[in-house]
Amino acid sequence: MRAVVQRVSKASVVVDGETVGKIGAGLVVLLGAGRDDTEKDVSYLVNKMSGLRIFEDEEGKMNLSVKDVDGEVLCVSQFTLYGDTRKGKRPGFSEAAPSDRAQKLYEQFCRELEEDGVKVATGKFQETMEMELVNHGPVTLLMDSQKNF
C-alpha cells in the first residue's frame, strides 16, 4: 500500500456538492492499494501512521503523533498512487489493486485506524471528489508498506 500523508490544520472532501468528510487538525491520507497488497500491508501502515511523530511538541520539535495531539484523519482512496509514468505520457495502472479488493483494503485501513483510537473521516470510494485542505508546515510524507520509499 502507498500513502501520501499531509499534516493539516483542517480538511474536507465533497462529492456531488455534499461534504462527506471533514476534519480539524490532523492528517489527510491519500491511500492506494497495490495488486499484491494484503491485510499485513494495511496493519503495517496503520501502525506506522498512528504513531508517526510529525506534530510539534512544546519545544517546536516534531515529536508527537496524531493520537498524542487528539487529531483526526481524513482518508481518501487514491488508486492513482500506483500510476506508472516511466513509459510514455499516459500513466499505467496495472500495479493497482482491482477495485473490489482495493475497497476492502481501504475500508480495513480506516477501521483499524479507528480501532487504534484515531477519529477517521472518509471520502467515497470510486467517486470523483473535491478536496480542500490546509497543509500545516507544510509537512507531506510518502509511505509504502513494501518500503520502496
Q: Is 67 exposed, middle or buried (0-12, 13-18, 19+ CB in 10 A)?
A: middle
Confirm whether 149 is domain-assigned: no
The residues annotated as belonging to the active site are 78-80
Confirm whether 75 is domain-assigned: yes
* Residue 148 pLDDT level (bands cut at 50, 70, 90): confident
Non-local (6+) Cβ contacts of 33 within 8 A are: 1, 41, 77, 79, 82, 96, 97, 101, 102, 105, 106
C-alpha–C-alpha distance, residues 46 and 69, integer Å: 17
Confirm whether 148 is domain-assigned: no
> Which residue range(s) make up the domain with 113?
2-143
- CATH number of domain containing 132: 3.50.80.10
What the block records as the C-alpha cell of 149 is 520509499
The domain tally of the chain equals 1
Confirm whether 26 is domain-assigned: yes
112 Rama class: left (phi>0) / alpha (psi -120 to 50) / beta: alpha
Confirm whether 16 is domain-assigned: yes
C-alpha–C-alpha distance, residues 85 and 146, integer Å: 19
Predicted confidence (pLDDT) per residue in 59-92, tens digit: 999 999 999 999 999 999 999 999 999 999 999 9
Confirm whether 36 is domain-assigned: yes
